[in-house]
Structure 1
Amino acid sequence: MRRLPRPLISMTIATLALPLGAAAQAQGLTPLATFEVHHNLPQELAPDETVTAAEIITASADGNLLIYTDSPAQRLGFIDITDPSNPGAAGSLALDGEPTSVSVAAGIALVGVNTSNSYTDPSGFLGVVDLESRKLIAQCELGGQPDSVAASPDGTLLAVAIENERNEDHNDGKLPQLPAGDLVLFDLAADGSPSNCDAARHVDLTGLASVAADDPEPEFVDINSAGQVAVTLQENNHIVIVDGTSGSIVNDFSAGSVDLEQIPTEQGSLTANGQLSDLAREPDAVGWLDEQRLVTANEGDYLGGSRGFTIFTADGQVAWDSGNALEQLALEHGAYPAGRAGKKGAEPEGIEIWKERGLILVGLERAASVAVYRDGGANQAPEFLQWLFTGVGPEGLLAIPQRDLFVVAAEEDDPEGGLRSTVSLYQWQDQTASVDITGTDDSGEAIGFGAISGLTIATDGTAYAVSDSAYPEARLYQLDPSTTPARITSVTVIHEDGAAAEGLDLEGVAPRAEGGVWLVSEGNPEQGRANEVIGVDSDGNIVERFTLPVSIAERMTRFGFEGIAALSSNTSKASNTSQEGSTPQTGRLAVIFQRPLTDEAGSARLGLLDPNSGEWQFVAVALSEPRSDAGGWVGFSEITALEDGRLALLERDNQVGERATLKRVVSISLDDATPVSAEQAPPVLSTSEVIDLLPVLAADHGVIVDKPEAMAITGNQLLVITDNDGVDDSISRTQLLSLTLPDA
């Protein structure tokens, strides 16, 4: 049974996440817009060929201009958010080095720039950028490689963490690896520029940590209203408090360690039955809650990472720790990166404190999400409020209180694939961002899910979904779509001969008259895996298997079976007759192929299987031409039967974000079609558009995903679910679209 974090004054650990009901509230953050940062590249840098990224982000004093570091392009980027629902490209500034962090004081952007020749010869400078002219007006040498930059709330002090990071390929990444890092302090003039550019104060941080004391690697800095600088030494698992005026060390303490239970620990697994002991927290980002408390995001590095966040008192006591809460929440929201289960899980990396609203915002790099908590005060545990989905690799978090805005910079950028680095804007409103599906059983335990690839609703109203090969085990989910959000209530692992079935890539599911379900598994000739129709009983055991005729199978590409529908007697005469066309038969299965056979351009096969005889017949369905300027391909990804006898198909291109141009539901009719045997040329059926999904997918103001993959009918509602690829360098949100079917 899930236990709630209890409010205690001192050493407390939250054992499990708060239940979803805690997020039910009148107010919260809701998305306004998403900006792809490649729009800020100059004309001489081709966007489709240039890696660019928004990493650390800040804003001008009036909150109308965003400023972010673009490390791969070695630029400082600007976004005009005068209208936050319509952010605009405001250009970029080339820098002679790699920008790592940025902060703003008055009208000046202060940028840490890494110019290191090597790990053993680190260097860098503080760039002073005038925001009105967008020009670099001064440089202050730092004497090492900067990582984090923070200005004090009153704009009189700047702290720079000089990390001098280690070489992970040297000595297995173990410390020490000199030269040591330190902390650099600048005094700021009224205009925001450093007044001691040539005489900055360097604070020696050696001799403090119990881990590699002679090689501190400062990671992140934040300054409270009393001018105290909190510095995390991530690899040293240590935190230092420094007086910003004098540069003297006020306090230092170990970040400590935790024991975790009920988390996934096996690579690729969503099962939260693992335990980890004595994990060093190794904090990354830090933020002051007030003058007496600070919060760390415990990403971890080479010693551990506790997969959570911690509230410390300024004297080094643990006031509260999230325990396994973030892992459980990521599972519950379908955002768990199972490929990282054996490493650092959801990987909390960023922290932002929105003091005016009492919020703690935790960025989860691998879960592509932000967990929103409300600070409970010095004697209370924080309260989980909301789960936000972001772009891939959220790196920079920023609250803009004067405009009630929250901003997330997501750094992962794939020019070739089209999933670009983004800046997402959210606003505090009388509504919250949409969470379409969660996974919890009746006792409130989290059920991990993701990579949803097929959906069906049985005659008794039970909805079933499947996930694809993103996970090592084939998973069948039971879904309740009547709740808001819809809820996955149970999961069954598919078995054969008493063991979990292996080598399946489930892409579709349909009710089975004898009980249980029919599944389709997509084949891959390169891996020796056949396309199969699989009968599964009500306990999840495989009881039947059907493969394609050899003459079809040998012409398959890796884009094989993508959906299955059970046909009723009213679907069409053609689909419910034997090969001779004389004997009506119910119980036939329609299986849609994703893309053409090797010698059949322009259409994809639709196979009609009689499971009583194992006999196949075929027609073909015309595919649209790609519409995207990026090219790519178009294929089908699901099939379901409509009540009027037609078949509905999901047709989509393989493009994401701004490149996506074709995501729709189409219909076909088998009336007057004559299915043929495997050796014959099939008739090609034309499609009619039922619903254009692009406006619906774009309505939440996030990145348009490339994979609407699952579809089913309930009454006059068409349900469509997107595939998040198991949160493997992908948008983690699973969207559930509920659409009213238009009249035929």
Structure 2
Amino acid sequence: MKLFRKSILPVAILASTVAAPLMANSLSDLINNSVKDALYGSERENQTKQYFQRKSTFAIYQNLAADEAPETETSAEIIAVSPDGNTVLYTDSQMERLGFVDITDLSAPVAKGFLALDGEPTSVAVKGQYALVVVNTSENYKNTSGQIVVVDISDILSPTVVRTLEISGQPDSIAISPKGNYAAVAVENERDEEACADGDGGLIDEAHDDEDKCNELGGELGGLPQYPAGYLAIVDMNGQPAAWSVSDMSLEGLAIPDSDDPEPEYVAINHGNLAAVSLQENNGMVLVDLEQSKILQHYDAGSVDLTNVDATKNGLIDPIDDLLGVLREPDAVSWLSDMYVVTANEGDYLGGSRSFTIFDIPGGVKYEAATDLENKAIENGHLPEKRAAKKGVEPEGVTSAIINGRNYLFVGSERGNFIAVYTVKDPTKPEYLQMLPTGVGPEGLLAVPGRNAFLVASEKDDAGEGFRSMLTAYELSDSSNYPQITSAGNDELIGWAGLSGLVADRNDAKTLYSVSDSVMKQSYIYTIDAAQEPAKITSRATLKKSGQAVAYDLEGITQSASGDFWLVSEGKPGSSNNLLILTSAEGAIKEEYKLPEAIQAQQKKFGFEGVTVTGTGANEKVHVAVQREWEGDPDGMVKIASFMPASGEWSFVYYPLDTPVTGWVGLADMVALDDGRFAILERDNQQGDSAAIKRIYTVDLDAAKDTGLAYPVLEKSLARDVLPDMKAANGWVPDKVEGLAVGADGEVYLITDNDGLDDAVGETQFLRLGQQDSAFN
């Protein structure tokens, strides 16, 4: 089998291969010193720390035409902003258009229509009244072509194409120099990941998309080189668009693994008209002087040794693996003070260090994030465990800006659905500030310094799964409201996801407990300190049966008077029973109780969901909420089961569900109140702006009435509509609000299940509703 990857030269050797290598004493020719001073000299030592607060979430489908179905797939990928900071422009490759959203009021974005394009837009940048959109018009991977479409956006409601510049390749990224006199386009001519490359630039067609056959024939699936080669297109933007011209700069022949197939990915330009270009598949960086059309520097992006990461896809968040010599393979790049280049190391088919790196201009590493992003994801419930064996959180986007006198660095995690925000006074020591939740697949990152704002476009869109492509706006504030729950600050990393039940300790009003559902392949009880803000997961206990760890689909937890826990596990017809489980405070399983066989046989799909307990000793009674109707249940009627451990007896009543607006409605949790009533959490399965039913009702189980059905029927009273509470975070409303608890001091809490980021935004809401007397109307 051929070896296609040539040896990777050290940075020092690479520097010596460049004609007239960039020396430290020549930086003054490239750097605007006033900008440098602004970045590192304007921040006062006593300046109040500020954070970014989410102001709004705008679903891109809202910008569809009136005759286009709301479920039509859209995709906001790369974003730019008008000179006044009031209009966002986004590329929609799915719909082949450039979209516009008015953000004059960050809290209330307004759809402003779109401009149809003759191909797939991949990036956009703005100079004054003109937007430059790069469009892929290629027939296929071999026959490549593209355009730079110049759009007059002086009237957003009537954008006009004033010129189209043809380019001979498939463009990926565009950037405009801060001074506005140059634009640069990374023309990638991307590889076909399903093609079998023979290592000499040819393809083995009979092994297309067949890795075993490709290997057998001595090829590499998705390998390099694959022609035509990519290059950098440079646009001279002096004068009006009619006078603009495009020239091509070859990036071939560099000291990179596939020197004749560079695969440029992303470009950023500093105030000295120095363009930084990432060569992702070739793990390289190139610095180009746009004024001279000359390569000044190029270097190998290098590799990283990662220790204590979760690199095994097994349904466990266990950072115990080591990954050595992982190629960075940078995607997005950003300039930091014109002196440093920051790379988001997403990786490609040979690498992915799950990190970001700060390089100086000669290519020296000033800072390496290593496991920092993964650790932040673990602490805040954003680790995509299903991607553990691949590239983890996959940092794809990065940008930096001076906002209100402080230098901020933003790094986007494509798979973790978050932005990590850092402040940078010293490029060797960026200081982590906060995590911002996003939609699914954050792609476009944009700071708007004049508005003290930051914007994110999340590209993934799936109406069937309940999430949409979205634009999220954040604004500087004196406080942060995310995360609302975290495990940060413990001596050891505590991984968590899919919190699906909640109960308050009987004696300690500020101690809560939660459980993980089937998203984790090992069951845990989490201890939460609610006295802290954000609430802090302080420990997790592994459920064990006869000393061996077990995995249930836990959906509820309650605490008995003895201090033991009652848990419920949701069954699946034909494979597992619904279980009522008694454990010690440490998680040792004492007993498992099943429903009577005749009742269990009625289950359709959705089973045990919430649990609470009343009484003590021989009078202890455990009450379980069944999520949805089973066989024989009337439509809109679900069972609440009560179990007497002392006698083994089960009894049932019916609870009347609300009528769904869309989808279905079911029960999520229940809590016994001190006055003898029960609080019932009821929800629909809808997310975002389709969410309609997220409510708490109160019932008296002893007052159920015989209406001629199989079981007596409860009457319910609305205690609180919690949808406004969930919307207050200005995000995408999650469907699974699944935990309800009332502390010994009367404080009411809610928690949502983030589904382990599996077709979900991954955000966990931990809501404090206040005292019971005021929280329940």
Matched, 1:432 2:465: no
Greater CA deviation, 666-675 or 338-347?
666-675
Q: Which amino acid counterpart does residue 357 of structure 2 have in structure 1?
A: T
Contact (CA 8 Å) 1:664, 1:689: kept in 2 or not? yes
> Which residue of 1 is the match for residue 729 of structure 2?
700
Contact (CA 8 Å) 1:188, 1:194: kept in 2 or not? no
Matched, 1:240 2:247: no
User: What does 1:631-642 align with in structure 2 at a 5 Å threshold?
Assistant: 631-642=662-673
Deviations 1:452-501 (A, max 9, x none): 10011222324210011111111211111111111001112212233221
User: What does 1:617-636 align with in structure 2 at a 5 Å threshold?
Assistant: 617-627=651-661, 631-636=662-667
> Which residue of 1 is the match for residue 194 of structure 2?
169
Contact (CA 8 Å) 2:705, 2:713: kept in 1 or not? no
Give the Cα–Cα distance (whole angstroms) in 2 for the partners of residues 665 and 28 of structure 1. 33
Gaps of 5+ in 2: 1-23, 25-46, 197-220
From 509, 515, 521, give the equivalent of 1:466. Answer: 515
TM-score, normalised by the number of residues in structure 1? 0.91
Matched, 1:37 2:71: no
Greater CA deviation, 71-80 or 492-501?
492-501
> Which residue of 1 is the match for residue 338 of structure 2?
291
From 128, 135, 140, give the equivalent of 2:165. Answer: 140
From 416, 419, 426, give the equivalent of 1:367. Answer: 416
Contact (CA 8 Å) 2:697, 2:718: kept in 1 or not? yes
User: What does 1:646-725 align with in structure 2 at a 5 Å threshold?
Assistant: 646-673=677-704, 681-714=710-743, 715-725=745-755
CA RMSD of aligned residues (A): 1.9
- Provide closer, same or farther for how the CA distance between residues 717 and 731 of structure 1 changes in structure 2, counting only shifts above 3 A: same
- Provide closer, same or farther for how the CA distance between residues 524 and 322 of structure 1 changes in structure 2, counting only shifts above 3 A: same
Contact (CA 8 Å) 1:366, 1:393: kept in 2 or not? yes
From 425, 431, 437, give the equivalent of 1:389. Answer: 437
Q: Which amino acid counterpart does residue 642 of structure 1 have in structure 2?
A: L
Contact (CA 8 Å) 1:441, 1:447: kept in 2 or not? no
Give the Cα–Cα distance (whole angstroms) in 1 for the partners of residues 739 and 130 of structure 2. 50
From 71, 74, 78, give the equivalent of 1:52. Answer: 74
Matched, 1:220 2:254: no
From 363, 367, 373, give the equivalent of 1:316. Answer: 363
C-alpha deviation, 1:645, in angstroms: 1.0
Contact (CA 8 Å) 1:690, 1:742: kept in 2 or not? no
Q: Which amino acid counterpart does residue 264 of structure 2 have in structure 1?
A: P
Give the 3-state SS of the residue equivalent to 2:243 in structure 1: coil
Contact (CA 8 Å) 2:437, 2:482: kept in 1 or not? no
Greater CA deviation, 167-176 or 449-458?
167-176
Contact (CA 8 Å) 2:748, 2:768: kept in 1 or not? yes
Give the 3-state SS of the residue equivalent to 2:426 in structure 1: coil
Give the 3-state SS of the residue equivalent to 1:696 in structure 2: helix
Give the 3-state SS of the residue equivalent to 1:245 in structure 2: coil
Matched, 1:73 2:95: yes
> Which residue of 2 is the match for residue 124 of structure 1?
146
C-alpha deviation, 1:68, in angstroms: 0.4
Give the Cα–Cα distance (whole angstroms) in 1 for the partners of residues 703 and 335 of structure 2. 71
Contact (CA 8 Å) 1:113, 1:146: kept in 2 or not? yes
Give the 3-state SS of the residue equivalent to 2:756 in structure 1: helix
- Provide closer, same or farther for how the CA distance between residues 25 and 585 of structure 1 changes in structure 2, counting only shifts above 3 A: farther
Give the Cα–Cα distance (whole angstroms) in 1 for the partners of residues 85 and 489 of structure 2. 43
User: What does 1:304-343 align with in structure 2 at a 5 Å threshold?
Assistant: 304-343=351-390
> Which residue of 2 is the match for residue 352 of structure 1?
399
- Provide closer, same or farther for how the CA distance between residues 124 and 589 of structure 1 changes in structure 2, counting only shifts above 3 A: same
Give the Cα–Cα distance (whole angstroms) in 2 for the partners of residues 384 and 271 of structure 1. 23
From 606, 619, 624, give the equivalent of 1:586. Answer: 619
- Provide closer, same or farther for how the CA distance between residues 393 and 685 of structure 1 changes in structure 2, counting only shifts above 3 A: same
Give the 3-state SS of the residue equivalent to 2:265 in structure 1: strand
C-alpha deviation, 1:40, in angstroms: 1.0
Q: Which amino acid counterpart does residue 692 of structure 1 have in structure 2?
A: D
Give the Cα–Cα distance (whole angstroms) in 2 for the partners of residues 707 and 135 of structure 1. 44
Q: Which amino acid counterpart does residue 505 of structure 2 have in structure 1?
A: A
> Which residue of 1 is the match for residue 450 of structure 2?
402
> Which residue of 2 is the match for residue 415 of structure 1?
463
Q: Which amino acid counterpart does residue 593 of structure 1 have in structure 2?
A: V
Give the 3-state SS of the residue equivalent to 2:76 in structure 1: coil
Give the 3-state SS of the residue equivalent to 1:525 in structure 2: coil
> Which residue of 2 is the match for residue 480 of structure 1?
529
Give the Cα–Cα distance (whole angstroms) in 1 for the partners of residues 629 and 338 of structure 2. 64
User: What does 1:501-520 align with in structure 2 at a 5 Å threshold?
Assistant: 501-502=550-551, 504-520=552-568
C-alpha deviation, 1:513, in angstroms: 4.4
Contact (CA 8 Å) 1:186, 1:194: kept in 2 or not? no
Deviations 1:658-689 (A, max 9, x none): 1111111111101333799xx98111112111
C-alpha deviation, 1:541, in angstroms: 2.2
Give the 3-state SS of the residue equivalent to 1:552 in structure 2: helix
Matched, 1:733 2:733: no
C-alpha deviation, 1:29, in angstroms: 0.7
Give the 3-state SS of the residue equivalent to 1:218 in structure 2: coil
Give the Cα–Cα distance (whole angstroms) in 2 for the partners of residues 522 and 209 of structure 1. 57
Give the Cα–Cα distance (whole angstroms) in 1 for the partners of residues 501 and 395 of structure 2. 31
Give the Cα–Cα distance (whole angstroms) in 2 for the partners of residues 563 and 25 of structure 1. 44
User: What does 1:82-93 align with in structure 2 at a 5 Å threshold?
Assistant: 82-93=104-115
Contact (CA 8 Å) 2:465, 2:759: kept in 1 or not? no
User: What does 1:531-550 align with in structure 2 at a 5 Å threshold?
Assistant: 531-550=578-597
Give the Cα–Cα distance (whole angstroms) in 2 for the partners of residues 707 and 718 of structure 1. 18
Give the 3-state SS of the residue equivalent to 2:539 in structure 1: strand
Deviations 1:239-274 (A, max 9, x none): 000111222100000000000112111113211111
> Which residue of 2 is the match for residue 449 of structure 1?
496
Deviations 1:411-432 (A, max 9, x none): 1111223311110111112222
Deviations 1:589-620 (A, max 9, x none): 00000001122111110010112232211111
Give the 3-state SS of the residue equivalent to 1:235 in structure 2: helix
- Provide closer, same or farther for how the CA distance between residues 618 and 675 of structure 1 changes in structure 2, counting only shifts above 3 A: farther
Contact (CA 8 Å) 1:230, 1:242: kept in 2 or not? yes
Give the Cα–Cα distance (whole angstroms) in 2 for the partners of residues 226 and 501 of structure 1. 60
- Provide closer, same or farther for how the CA distance between residues 585 and 684 of structure 1 changes in structure 2, counting only shifts above 3 A: farther
Give the Cα–Cα distance (whole angstroms) in 2 for the partners of residues 593 and 471 of structure 1. 22
User: What does 1:253-268 align with in structure 2 at a 5 Å threshold?
Assistant: 253-267=299-313, 268=315
Give the Cα–Cα distance (whole angstroms) in 2 for the partners of residues 395 and 209 of structure 1. 29
Deviations 1:122-175 (A, max 9, x none): 211111111123122221111111100100001111110011111111232121
C-alpha deviation, 1:275, in angstroms: 1.0
Q: Which amino acid counterpart does residue 269 of structure 2 have in structure 1?
A: I
Give the Cα–Cα distance (whole angstroms) in 2 for the partners of residues 548 and 175 of structure 1. 59
- Provide closer, same or farther for how the CA distance between residues 441 and 363 of structure 1 changes in structure 2, counting only shifts above 3 A: closer
From 498, 503, 518, give the equivalent of 2:547. Answer: 498
From 591, 599, 603, give the equivalent of 2:637. Answer: 603
Give the Cα–Cα distance (whole angstroms) in 2 for the partners of residues 410 and 25 of structure 1. 30
Contact (CA 8 Å) 1:110, 1:126: kept in 2 or not? yes
C-alpha deviation, 1:25, in angstroms: 6.9
C-alpha deviation, 1:355, in angstroms: 2.7
> Which residue of 1 is the match for residue 20 of structure 2?
none
Deviations 1:174-193 (A, max 9, x none): 211111111100011345x3
- Provide closer, same or farther for how the CA distance between residues 704 and 602 of structure 1 changes in structure 2, counting only shifts above 3 A: same
Give the Cα–Cα distance (whole angstroms) in 1 for the partners of residues 316 and 393 of structure 2. 13
Contact (CA 8 Å) 1:161, 1:221: kept in 2 or not? yes
TM-score, normalised by the number of residues in structure 2? 0.87
C-alpha deviation, 1:539, in angstroms: 3.0
